[in-house]
Structure formats: C-alpha cells, structure tokens
Structure 1
Amino acid sequence: MKFKFLLTIVAFFSLLSINSQNTATLKGTVKTAQGEPIMGANISIKNSNKGTTSDIDGKYELKLSEGKSIIVEVSFLGYNTIKKEVVVAKGEITQNFILEESSYLLEGVVVSAQKREQRNKEVPIAITSYGTDFINNQGTFEYDALSEFVPGFQVQIQSANNPGIVVRGITSDSGDSRVEPRVSIFQDGVSISKSRGSVVELFDIERVEVLKGPQGTLFGRGAQIGAMHIIQNKAKNENSGSLKLGYGNFNQFLATGHANTVLSKDKVFLRVAGIYNRRDGYIENRSGGDLNGKETVAFRASLLYLISDNTTLDVIANWQQDTPPGTSFKSGTFAPLGGDLSPNTFADLERGEELGLDRTVYGITGILKHSFNDIWDVTATSAYREFDSNEAFDADGTAAPALYFREIAKGKQFSQEVRFNFDTKDKFRGFFGANFFFEDGSQEVPWYFDERSLAVLLLSPQALVINGVPTLFPVLPNIPQLGPLAGAPLLASNSETFTNYGKNYSGDIFADASYDFSDKFSMTLGLRATWENINAGFKVDDIEKPSFLAFLTPGSGSNILSLPTNGKITASENFLSAVGRLAMNYNLNENITLFATTSKGRRPNVINITSTTTDVLSDETVWSYEIGAKSLFMNNRLQFDVNAYMYDYSNFQTTITKFENGNLTSIPEDSGNASSFGLEMATQYAFTKNSSFFANYGYIDASFDETDANGNAQALAGNTFRLTPKHSFSAGFNFNQIVNENLDFFFRPTYTYKSKVFFEETNLPNISQDAYGLFNFRLGLDIQKKYEVTFFMNNVMDKKYIIDAGNTGGAFGIPTFIGGAPRFFGVQLKADF
C-alpha cells in the first residue's frame, strides 16, 4: 500500500506538470571579473526546480518553455550571487554572467527550519545550524561531538542503541516502545525519533539544524522541547567525488566518501556515499575483549529525477549497521581483581566478548516537489523505516553473574506528509498540510543470572564480590529470616524476560503562516491538531526454571524481579490535542532583528502497564516564553545571537529504575510541575576570507517546583534536571594561512566546558560529574584545493571524566559508571575528484 500510494502521487503530479512542446534554449558562460571560467557554478530558475551547473569552460545550457519571463539566479561559493530577469523567446537565448568575489559567508546563515530557505536572522526561533564545512573541519560524525558546539544542547551516547538527547534541560532517552520522545530527530523531513533507531552517522551531510523550544507546529508530536533536523547531501547535476581515509590510536580506522554522477543529462542524477568507522574500546575487560569501542558501517544512495521544469522527485535510501563492543558499566562499589574503582581504568564484566551491540537501521524516503506557479508549490514526503537491535550488557558492573541483560528492540514506521507552501512575494507566506504516521515497536529484555550469585546480591550485597572474585552461595544460607528455606539448592543458570509493546497511529493537520505588517514588523502563527490512537502492551514470561529465590521477593510471584502476566496485557486509548506558536520579528535595522515567541509543547499521554495495574499518564505539557536578538554585520562576516527563555511544565514525566517489594520497575511517573530559565549566546566572526572564530555560551536553571498543581509538596522538589549543566561554553578557531599558490596550512583548535551535572533526578551527589573542559585540535595542509592531510587530537590533556552513572545497578544499591573518552589522535588523508 505504501508504494502504491507513492506511485499514485508521482503519477498525479506528473500529469499536472506536462509542458508545452514549444521549448527554448538558454545558454551562456559564467566567469570571474578577471575573465576566468567558473566550473560548478549553480544556475537555477527562481521559483522552479529547473537548474544546472557550469562545465569546465564555464558554459551552461538549459531547456525552457518559451513565452514567459523568468528570474535566473547564479551562485558559487566565495562569490556574490546575482539575479537577472530573462524573457524566454523561441530558439536560443545567450546570457552570460560575471561573478564578483565576496567576503567570507558564515555557515549557518541560511536555514530551512520553517520549511523554506531563509536567513537565520529572519526566523523567530532559536536555531543553531552547522553545514558541510564545519562538520568536516571538526571531523564530526556523531551527535555527541556536534552537541558540544550548540548552546542548550547536550547529547550523551552510551552506545548507538542508547542515546540521551537533551535540549535546555529536558532529556529524551527512553527505550520503552510505549513512550514518545521529547526531542524530535528528523532526517530529510522524516521523523527518526524513537531512541533505539535515532542515532545515525553524520557523513556526507549538507546541514544540521538544532531548533530549541517547542516545535510541534513544524516538527510534530515528538518535538515537545526541540528538534534536530539532519539534511543529507542529495544527488546533484554534477560529476564529483571524494574519499577520506584515517588511522588513529586504539586501532581507529576511518573510510568515507561519496560519488555523484549524471545518469541522464539534465534529467536523472545519482549520488552514493558511505562510511566505515571503527575503533577498539578504550576500557579493557579482564573477562575478555574491550569496552566503549565503535564499529559502524553505513551507506546511502540518492536519486534525483527532474520530471519536468516544475516537478522533481528525490529518492533517498539509507542503511546502517552498528556492531561495537559492550558498554563499560563499571561498578563503583566493587573493584575488579587487581584493579580499582575508577571508571576510566580496566573493568571485569561477566560474559566478556559476548557484551556488545548488533543494530541495523534502514529506510527509504521519497520527496516529490511540484511548483504550480510563482506563488504555490507542494511537497509530498513518503517514508518507511525499520530498526532491529540486540544489545548485551552487564548491569552490576562486576564479574559476578548476577545482572546480565539483553535488550532486543525492534521498530518499524511509515509516514506520509503532504504540505502546500505559498509565498505571495508581498507580505504573506507559509504552509499548511496533513500528516499520517504509523509505528509498531517492542522492547524485549531477557535477564540471565546465576542464582548462586544473585542470592548474594539479595541477601548480602556487600559480599557480591570480595577482592575482585564473585561470591557464590551453593545453597540458600542458614540465616534466621529464611526459616525452613535455609539450605535450599540454587541453580547455576536461570532467566526471566519482560517485554513492552507500542503500536501507534496518528494524524495531523497543520498550518503555519507569516504576515508582514510593515517592512520592519512581521508575525507568525502556527497550529497543529493531532489525533492519536495509542496501543500499549506488556508481558512478563514465567521464569525459565522454578527458583527458591522467588520466596525472597514476594511481590514478584513465582518470578524474582517481575510478576508474570500470563500472556500479554494490552490497552488502547484515543487522544485529541493541539499545540501552536505565536512569534514576532522586528527588524531594528538592516543588521539586527529582535524576536519574541510564545508556544505550547506537548509530550503524548503514556499508557502505563505493569503486571498489576494499567494507568494513563496525563500528557506532559510546557508553555514556553522566549525573547532574543539576531544580527549579521560586515557583509555577513559577523554573526551574534542572544536569547532568554522561561519554561513552565505540567505533569512532568520522569523514569526512575527501582527495585521495591521484590519488583523491578523502570516506568515513567508523573512528577508534577517543573520550571526553568535560561540564557544563550553565540557568535561567529570571519576575520579573513578563509579564517574564522566561533564561541557560544549557555546558562540554564531547571528544577522541579516545590509543590504540584494541587499545592502538595513534591518528592523531587528543588532537584535539578539530569544531564543539565548550569553553565556550558565552547569556542574555536578555523585558521587558514596561504603558504603558496598550491599549499595552505590550517589549524583548528576547540575548547568545550560543562559545569557539574547530575545523572538522575534524585540528584545523589555520587551520581554526578564535576565541571570539566576538553581541548581538541586539528592541523594540516590543503594541497591545490583538492588534497588534504590532517593530524587530529581530541581530549589533548587526557582528562578523566564520566558520561553516565547510576543505571540499572543503582536500583540494587550498586551504581555503575561509564568512563569518558581518553586522548584520541590520528592522521587523515582526503582527496576531492
């Protein structure tokens, strides 16, 4: 059905776009002011998808329909864009262009957050945008590395299967298939937000935009507090290619590149790109293998078909597989044999090389665009996506065979959006449309244990490991509280499994429009109404083998951790909701724009099913109030942004793993009201054509209120949101020095700083990381603008820090800790073709 629907849309718009048989040819050359031809200049027809690029001699040629006046736009990096009006007559029209060299244009100046390309300064949203050059210059392939340069944005990646994405203090990291994320992750206009399928490698990327504040109008039901939009490079009308190879310590190996070709002149274009990125783990596991490593292979193929002058179809297929070694959940209570409690030294986790992740993510997206006229166009986006992951981890952080888990997460989704865009070219512009989304997922968690070790954890936890060696009780010990059970035999192996299920359908209608009341003042209003059919399920299987340990945890029945459900328990509910935004822009002068926004964000209701109860949590809502200023000076050489915001949360949902009354739970709970205040500043300055500086700062004070909506004292009153530093800062240079006409030298240092963070809402002092900073740099040579040799070093001072603490082991009173990355260094070689 999905592909038939896409095919129907393609056929429909193909019929709309049949053109007159009378054609004309527009041709000419693109040169510099010195008369040198420019190869690769973009020649496009405004308000149309028709375009081409100049060849090695600067020549171009376009087939057009005769009898109309068009605006031809010519652009090339490093030169001022020019526009000319051309009347298309029958036959051949010659139009030559001369481009003037421009001052350096900062990246991030142009964004598409509001579904159309605009200068960042014109958009009444706090946005940080980084493009191809910045991502390549920093050698960034993962979200967590990129987040260091975005104020108000933090990313913690325990593994590719388990990210924590934080926008202004709000964390989105639940792997529960029944829970909707708070932060939307989009890839080419398609939601990939579900936690276990959201981490994708950043290779061959056009731009990454991070939007802060509620973005439900623009990015749907999961954008309660923000969104990240990854825009991939797509097929173009050119023949090009690149290849980068790298090697570093811990046997790090990198290979990435792309190839773009023309399959049919001015009609069909193909681009393929790929990456292989691996590194040994930096934590030795004495039980075998290593921990905290990386191994990712990913491929992308994109096809662009110019159906007509007014209609295009992009098809993008992505595939990624992650097979890194396990995550070092190292115990902070029991040191390994011959070791210590530091999270940054060797560990001894049971199962050795069995620990690790095997995750596959793939999907296909079709983007059909048709321009009806100068005012109206339509975009239809169809997508299908799947992920399948199996991660094995040791939750007690020791060699004791007590808490060994697997998490098997699966998900598939289909989405269809149709959006009509309009721009009257006068005062009114915007879009409206509808979206349908379906997802079906599950999270199965088998738990494997040695009863002889688990009995120690339950009865005498301080003896779980002694001098690095696990303690095993062959039988239940002879202690008074066991009574006649004392001496009962314990098994060497057993297992329990629990699974949650989520199947959701949603439909949206949305509209967003801006109106210019004057040359200086404009207002934007956006609304999105959503219908949701949420279906949740929960199942706890009977324990594999009957166990005497079940008598120690009476709340779990015949099981040890969770009460069996005798099959799957299900529940279904329908919900209607609406979110929106009101934003204002005021152009103080040609350099400075002021903005203010009020918006509502929402996290969908959760159907909370346990073995004994089924509850429906209220939808979590937030009201956001924000003011700010954006500026561009010195012909786009200096950018400075500042904004302040306040958030007011209701029905705030928290997830804390607990082991109480013989039951292990890790489910969301309604923690009442919360609020936050923050300030962000960012600047970029190009001090020469090829050299620039950036810096940003973020301050946030986010905590739970003293009382809930009914005036009752809250259990977490005053506690700080987790993974949220009160202060964060980053800065860096991109310094380029011309050695001679064929050789450039570059030096790119960066520094990032975070103040203290807590890893859980309980704010336990030992489950935290004190303030720290990291210094990185890259230096090298650019040869003939085609070849590049780079030496890099990250965490130059080899700072010791942790990226997470507490985890499942914390529910049993034995928290675990994940050490941060040590000093990485290596060499990379790049060639452009």
Structure 2
Amino acid sequence: MTQPSACAPAFARRPLCLALCLAMAGLPFAVSAQQADAPDTDNASPAGATQLDTIVVTAQKREQQVSEVPIAITAYSGDFLDRQGITTLGGLAGFVPGLQVQEQSPNNPGYVIRGITSDSGEANVQPRISMFQDGVSISRSRGASVELFDMERVEVLRGPQGTLFGRAAQVGAVHLIQNKARDENSGQLEIGVGSDSQRLASGYVNASIAPEALFARVAVFHEERDGSIDNAAGGTLNGKDTTAVRASLGMLVGEASRIDLIANYQKDSPPGTAFISGTIPNRQGSTSPYADAELNRGDELGLDRKVRGLTALGSFWLGGNWTLDSISGWRSFDSHEEFDADGSRLKAMEFAEIAQGDQWSQEFRFSFDNGDNFAGFFGASYFHEDGSQYVPFSTDERSLLALLSQDATFRDQIGALLGGIPFPAIPLFDANGDPFTSYALPGGLHTLLNSDHREAFANYGTTKAWDVFVDGTWRVTPALELSAGLRATWEEQTAGYQGFAGNAPTLFNGLGAGAPAPLAGNNIINSATDGRLQRTENFDAVVGRIAARYEFSPTLSGYATASRGRRPNVIDVTPQGSEVLPAEIVNSYEIGLKGGTAGGRLAYDMSAYWYDYSDFQTQIPNPTGGTPFLIPTNGGNATAKGIEASITGELADGLVLFANYAWTHARFDDRDDDGNPQLYAGHRFRLTPDHSAALGLDWRVPMGSNSFYLRPSYTWKSRVYFEDENTPGLEQGAYGLLSLRMGMTLDNGRWDIGLWGTNLTDEEYLIDAGNTGRQFGTPTFIAGQPRAYGITAKVRF
C-alpha cells in the first residue's frame, strides 16, 4: 500500500498539525461556504470579506444563510465547482469534511458520510444516505451517480436528516440543485482536451421566451477519455464516456408563484473496470493493480447505463405568510455492466450485472414564515419504487476448478469426497502462459467439466412509502432559536430472489452432497429456485430532531442538536429461506460553532458529534458459499464520534484560502446488549479514514480587463479498510492528491483559457479491494486515477 509522498506538506502526514497550526495562528475553523453563482465571476473583484459567507441554502426548506442553519452543512456554489473543474461528487468529496466517495464506475458508486456507507446495488436493500436532485430522491445506487454540470449549488448535510429529507437520510443527505431557466438571454460553451485522449464539451443556452413570464434553458455535457490501464485482451480500462442533457422550462404564475419543469438524461458507456487479481500474475509475473491487465472479453467489458428523470416543481403563494410547494418526480435507470471478476486471463469468473429501476414520488409541503419569530412547514409525501438486479455468470469449469484447487482446504474437501484420494493443486497456466485446461483428474472426473458453463441469479425489490412530517423554528429571543421536527413513515416492502439453472451438469454436482458448493439443478454458484421467492412486510417508524441555536454576536453562533436516524428494515430472501433484519437506528448528538472574524475576512465552522448505533446493518460472506455472495446481517452495536472543521479566508486581495479537516472514529462495539462478543468487535467502518483534510487556494491577479488565476488544491486521507472485516491486505494506506488549475480570463471574463492537472505527483492508490473475487479466494484490486492533465477554453455570451 502506498504512503504519503516524502514531499507532502507536514499537515498531510500529521493531520492534527493543521488544526493546531490554525489555532495557534488565531484562525478559527470555518465552513467552505463559497460565493453565490454570478455571471462574469472570473473578472469580478476578488472575493471580498463580506462575500465569503453569502451563499443561500434551503436545507430547512426555506432560504437561509449557511451560518443560520443549526446543521453541519457544507455548501458550494456552481461557480466554485467551475473554478475547481469539479463535475462529479467524487471530485467534490475532498472539499467536504466527513464525506468520502468511491466510484468503481458510474454504475457502482459508494457514498460515505461520517463512516456510514451507502453503496448496495441490491434492489431489496434500502440506501442509508439520501441523494436528492432538485428535491427528488435519486438515492438508489445504480442511478445515483450524475454529472455536476450547470449547477446552482450543492448542499451536503451531515447528521440524521429524516425530518428534512426523508426516510433514507439516516446519517446525512446530499442535495444537488441545478440551474433553472432564468429571465435572461445568455449562454456558455466550454471545450477541452487532455491526457488519455480526453475530450470535453459542455455548455448551456438560456432564453427569455416571454419576459417576466416564460423562460427556457438547455444544458449539455460530454466527456470521454480512454482508460488509464491497458488490457492485453483489447481496449483500455478505467476510462470515461458520459453524455448528459438537461432541458428546463420556468414559468411565473401570478405575483409570487413559479413552476419549473425539468427533464434530465444521462448515458454512460465507459470501458470496463480494471479488477486486477492480487494472487494471479499476468504474463510479466506481476500482480500489481497498476500494471497492464489481462481481462477476458476485451472491448466487451464495460458499462451501458441510461438514467432519465422528469421533475415538476411548483411554489405557490397562498397569501399572507403561507406558501405551498409541490415536488413531483419520475425517474428510471437501466444498466448493463460486463466485468471479469477473477481479474486475470483465466475464464473462471465472467460476470455481468443488469439492473433496472423505476420510481415516482409526490410531495406537498405547506410552509409558514412570519419573518419574525416563527417559520416552519408540514406536509405529506408518497414514494413508489420497483427494481431488479440480474447477474449472469459464465465459466470454464476447468479454469475454475484449477483456481479453487489452489486452496488447501478445498483440496482436502474434494479428497474426502473421493474416498481419501489426494486431490492435486492444478497448475493455472501451461508453459506458454495460457490457461491450463488439458489436465486429467482421478477417476476421469475431468470429463464432467463444462468448458462453457452458464447460470444466473437475480434479486428484486418494491417499496411503497407514505410520509407525514412537520418541522418548525421558534425565535424565543432575538438571540435564541429552538427547532423541532418529526417524520412518520409507513412502508410496504417486497423482496424477491430467483436462481436460474445452469446449461449443463457440472463436476460439482457429480461429486455429491458433500461438494463445497450449492448443488440444486446444474449450478455452481447458486441454487436454482422454482420461480421467484419473495416476501412482503409492512413497517412503520418515527424519527425526529430537536435543535437549539444561539447568536453570541452578529458574527458568531452556536448550536446543539439531538436527532434520531433510521435505515429501513431489510428483507433478506435466499434459496435457504428469508429473514427480516430490524431497522438500523442511530441516536445522534452534536454541537457546533459558525461565524466570521477578522472584519469579515474569515468564515468558519466547527462541529463535534457522537453517534450511537443499534442493530447496525452490515454484510458477511454467504456461509453457504453460494449466492448472494454477501448477505445482510445484524452487526449489533456501534459507535461513531468525530470532529469536523472548515475555514475560508481572504488572506489578501484576490487570494482566498479554503481548508477543512475531519476526525472520524467509527468502530463496532466490543459487545452487544446481552454482553456477548460481536462479530466485528473493535473493527473500523469500511471506507472510513480516521483523518482526512483538504487545503486549497484561489489566487486571482487583475490585469486591466484580463486576469490571471492560480488554483492549487491538496486532499489527503489516512488508512481505510475496504470491508467491515478489516482483512489485512484489503486496505489502502494514507495518501494525498495534488491538483492545479491555472489560466487567464480575457475581455472582462468573457473568455477563459486554462490548464489543469490532477494527481500531479502520480500517486499510486487503491479505490477498492476484495470485490467478488474475494469469495473465490482471489481478491481483486482497483487502482485510482494516475496523473492527468489538459487544457480548456470557455466563452460566455
């Protein structure tokens, strides 16, 4: 595993030094609340002290400054995303304390907030983190990864947000707010090229069809690049090919009402993911995840995913202090991803995943705000979702048996079935380096091996949910505000599973009832079922929050919150039966400070929290050895605690610094409620570094009607484990990534020509380890992106 570069800043190697240095310098920690989006920002005067904390958010369903919200929230404007060249949530994650993003492909993202990961692709498992796009949930993993182009802002809320954002916001929510049609005629076009044959084109056109009445906007995005890892079987791996289109229509109704209609479409067709075996060497003898790959099927590997969405937003003034908001959403996705799970030229584990999902939702919210001592809302919503995940599997049983025979326990099991005859460790490759398939076995068992075995399994999920909610904030005194909210949920969940029979008898069936694999039908990895197995259950729950906020001065406020979060129950259906896992509950307690100092030249935020989990939902390898490969299980109790801090400061005219740091101590408890040792006692939560930090500068030098800009940034994280088992070797050591953007704006900001580079030190790091291959004794590893660079040109009109 890689370690930080020797030339990395001291705080990167010792992250607590950052906090100490800032404190000793007299600088408070601060939230990275960037300036609101505005035209011609690159030519605007440098970020002034009074502008550092002016972004407006709607986390509490009304417009507020970040500093007025008693929640740990990080908000970035679309302007900040453009300045940093951020088009994905993964690119933004380094600038948000407590947020981690892992993306094997657009079809398989993992989002982590304060130690809790939401990444399951199974249709019957509910997400833990709510992803919203203009108020509509996009939380389902296979449809959640969307490009951040032509954005108004992104809000990341940490801590349980069930009252504000719904049933799945157990430990946080991410809200993507897209630019809507405006009453103006404007546009923008950006093109670029870069390493790995990268091509970029994006832009928008906005038109005022009927001034002060009807507006339209169309935005497009396209980026493609070859993969960073060559594949000997053809093509490259770990690349990108994404096209997205958005069309919106805005209408003003009466004096103070508005309707927005938004259509989104995104298509992803990247090359395959480089799952590289850590035990099976390539022809050069390497098992490095950074070496050339030898994955079967070449250019056939990869993803074909389409995501579609229609949203209708209505905000209607009812008179007086009342407003009615309506959010209607329809969304669907379908994806087909081909991958080589053994990570080698063996045709042992050839998989695909075909997933689809459809949902629609409706929310009505009545809001009251008297502009003085009370603001709040109440409402109701309905959500319906139906999805499936179908997984075909094919193998050359000759290679699969050879691979499994590398394990001594497996050989002993087979030998016992053969009446004590020793079973050999079969060579994987012949003298030419090709898969060895011409071997003979005792008793002529090799004649039972199928060179083209095929089978499949699938899971299904349907959810219907009804919510009612209420939330309000009461200003008790000019300095003290109290907030409280409740959300009640009624759910009907149906989960299903089906195993599909293989195409021929296998050796594993021929060995009899003691063979180390499921034996029903003609299958190796799963038991074929008589049609679909399913189970339907009804659940209900109540979650809520209480919060207090106190203004110590016009530039300093503090808050304290107590809240309850819930991950819905899981219905687990397998060929062996079904069970219902209880809902995962977290009780959260948090305090924080927000404000500004130094005459408004600094904006800051600091929070500390404690989470107490019960019935923690995790996954373990299926003890039957079949499918699903990983099954949900109750991990018992767990605790997470942490500190997060952010700062944005104008060090000099035109020179703005932003930095953040997070300490996350998330562990499974040693014992359950009955005093019994727990499965993962003392283990760290997966994908969760104990320490993470980011540091960046935005330096702009005016030159008449032109300006020069320089924007370096550095993100760092400590060691992470990729599974809750904390298996040694399936981890990534601490590392940091250095990026830089620099260029010129011309003609009062109309033109922008820039150079960019990411991972400039060419750090080698992993984004995942273990994967499906781990279940077959050959864990695979996925490398992160190496150094990349390019040039862009942008024009506004």
TM-score over 0.5 for the pair: yes
Aligned to 2:655: 691
Aligned to 2:23: none
**Take 1:640 and 1:702, find their aligned partners in 2: how far apart are those partners?**
25
Question: 8 Å contact 2:613–2:637 — kept in the other structure?
Answer: yes
**Take 1:783 and 1:746, find their aligned partners in 2: how far apart are those partners?**
11
CA shift, 1:307, in A, is: 2.1
Distance of aligned partners of 1:644 and 1:536 in 2 relative to their CA distance in 1, 3 Å threshold:
same
1:749-802 superposed Cα distances (whole Å, 9 cap, x missing partner): 001111011001111120001101111100000102110010011111111111
Question: 8 Å contact 1:312–1:368 — kept in the other structure?
Answer: yes
CA shift, 1:553, in A, is: 3.5
Q: Secondary structure at the match of 1:687?
A: strand
Question: 8 Å contact 2:49–2:602 — kept in the other structure?
Answer: no
CA shift, 1:79, in A, is: 9.9
**Take 2:432 and 2:105, find their aligned partners in 1: how far apart are those partners?**
26
CA shift, 1:487, in A, is: 3.9
Matched, 1:534 2:493: yes
Q: 2:472 aligns with which of 486, 507, 513?
A: 513
Distance of aligned partners of 1:733 and 1:253 in 2 relative to their CA distance in 1, 3 Å threshold:
same
Question: 8 Å contact 2:525–2:625 — kept in the other structure?
Answer: no
Question: 8 Å contact 1:381–1:416 — kept in the other structure?
Answer: yes
Q: Which amino acid aligns with 2:533?
A: I
Matches within 5 A, 1:194-273: 194-273=140-219
**Take 2:592 and 2:454, find their aligned partners in 1: how far apart are those partners?**
55
Matches within 5 A, 1:410-559: 410-460=356-406, 463-465=427-429, 469-474=433-438, 477-478=441-442, 486-550=445-509, 551=511, 552-558=515-521, 559=523
**Take 2:279 and 2:636, find their aligned partners in 1: how far apart are those partners?**
33
Aligned to 2:414: none
Aligned to 2:229: 283
Q: 2:265 aligns with which of 319, 322, 339?
A: 319
Question: 8 Å contact 1:338–1:468 — kept in the other structure?
Answer: no
Aligned to 1:737: 701
Q: 1:771 aligns with which of 710, 734, 742?
A: 734
Aligned to 1:328: 274
CA shift, 1:243, in A, is: 0.5
Aligned to 2:324: 378
Question: 8 Å contact 1:104–1:689 — kept in the other structure?
Answer: no
**Take 2:545 and 2:149, find their aligned partners in 1: how far apart are those partners?**
33
**Take 1:324 and 1:680, find their aligned partners in 2: how far apart are those partners?**
35
Q: 1:754 aligns with which of 708, 711, 717?
A: 717
Distance of aligned partners of 1:79 and 1:335 in 2 relative to their CA distance in 1, 3 Å threshold:
closer
Aligned to 2:418: none
Question: 8 Å contact 2:643–2:663 — kept in the other structure?
Answer: yes
Identity rate, percent: 46
**Take 2:639 and 2:430, find their aligned partners in 1: how far apart are those partners?**
45
Question: 8 Å contact 1:255–1:277 — kept in the other structure?
Answer: yes
Question: 8 Å contact 1:103–1:689 — kept in the other structure?
Answer: no
CA shift, 1:504, in A, is: 0.6
**Take 1:803 and 1:215, find their aligned partners in 2: how far apart are those partners?**
28
**Take 1:667 and 1:467, find their aligned partners in 2: how far apart are those partners?**
40
Q: Which amino acid aligns with 1:488?
A: T
Matched, 1:680 2:665: no
Aligned to 1:561: 525
Q: 1:613 aligns with which of 577, 585, 592?
A: 577
CA shift, 1:152, in A, is: 0.4
Distance of aligned partners of 1:832 and 1:660 in 2 relative to their CA distance in 1, 3 Å threshold:
same
1:624-674 superposed Cα distances (whole Å, 9 cap, x missing partner): 000110012356431111110010101111123446455653221111110
CA shift, 1:195, in A, is: 0.1
Q: Which amino acid aligns with 2:282?
A: P
**Take 1:221 and 1:138, find their aligned partners in 2: how far apart are those partners?**
33
**Take 1:453 and 1:228, find their aligned partners in 2: how far apart are those partners?**
44
**Take 2:283 and 2:357, find their aligned partners in 1: how far apart are those partners?**
40
CA shift, 1:709, in A, is: 1.8
Q: Secondary structure at the match of 1:507?
A: strand
Aligned to 1:12: none
Distance of aligned partners of 1:266 and 1:604 in 2 relative to their CA distance in 1, 3 Å threshold:
same
Matches within 5 A, 1:560-599: 560-599=524-563
Residues paired across the two proteins, number: 737
**Take 2:259 and 2:396, find their aligned partners in 1: how far apart are those partners?**
56
Aligned to 2:293: 347
Q: Which amino acid aligns with 2:725?
A: T
CA shift, 1:821, in A, is: 0.6
1:268-321 superposed Cα distances (whole Å, 9 cap, x missing partner): 100000000111000111111110000000000010011221221100000000
Aligned to 2:83: 137
**Take 1:285 and 1:108, find their aligned partners in 2: how far apart are those partners?**
49
Q: Which amino acid aligns with 1:622?
A: V
**Take 2:468 and 2:444, find their aligned partners in 1: how far apart are those partners?**
62
Q: Which amino acid aligns with 1:548?
A: L
**Take 1:312 and 1:467, find their aligned partners in 2: how far apart are those partners?**
72
Q: TM-score, normalised by structure 2?
A: 0.90
Aligned to 2:411: none
1:800-830 superposed Cα distances (whole Å, 9 cap, x missing partner): 1111101011111211000111100010000
Q: 2:767 aligns with which of 803, 817, 822?
A: 803
Q: 1:630 aligns with which of 549, 572, 594?
A: 594
Question: 8 Å contact 1:370–1:379 — kept in the other structure?
Answer: yes
Q: Which amino acid aligns with 2:468?
A: I
1:157-192 superposed Cα distances (whole Å, 9 cap, x missing partner): 000000010000111000000011111000000000
Distance of aligned partners of 1:398 and 1:520 in 2 relative to their CA distance in 1, 3 Å threshold:
same
CA shift, 1:140, in A, is: 0.5
Distance of aligned partners of 1:429 and 1:797 in 2 relative to their CA distance in 1, 3 Å threshold:
same
**Take 1:172 and 1:426, find their aligned partners in 2: how far apart are those partners?**
39
CA shift, 1:265, in A, is: 2.0
Question: 8 Å contact 2:53–2:603 — kept in the other structure?
Answer: no
CA RMSD of aligned residues (A): 2.2
Q: Which amino acid aligns with 2:640?
A: S
1:336-376 superposed Cα distances (whole Å, 9 cap, x missing partner): 11251211121101111111000000110000111122410
**Take 2:403 and 2:578, find their aligned partners in 1: how far apart are those partners?**
30
Matches within 5 A, 1:101-120: 103=49, 105-106=51-52, 109-120=55-66
**Take 2:283 and 2:548, find their aligned partners in 1: how far apart are those partners?**
62
**Take 1:663 and 1:235, find their aligned partners in 2: how far apart are those partners?**
48
Gaps of at least 5 residues in structure 2 are 1-35, 408-424
Q: Which moved more, 1:538-547 or 1:520-529?
A: 538-547
Distance of aligned partners of 1:654 and 1:149 in 2 relative to their CA distance in 1, 3 Å threshold:
same
Structure number with greater CO (CA < 8 Å, separation at least 6) is 2
**Take 1:207 and 1:554, find their aligned partners in 2: how far apart are those partners?**
51
Matched, 1:408 2:322: no
**Take 1:292 and 1:665, find their aligned partners in 2: how far apart are those partners?**
24
Q: Secondary structure at the match of 2:605?
A: strand
CA shift, 1:205, in A, is: 0.4
CA shift, 1:529, in A, is: 0.1
The higher radius of gyration belongs to 1
CA shift, 1:543, in A, is: 1.1
**Take 2:626 and 2:118, find their aligned partners in 1: how far apart are those partners?**
28
**Take 2:192 and 2:517, find their aligned partners in 1: how far apart are those partners?**
56
Q: Which moved more, 1:412-421 or 1:684-693?
A: 684-693
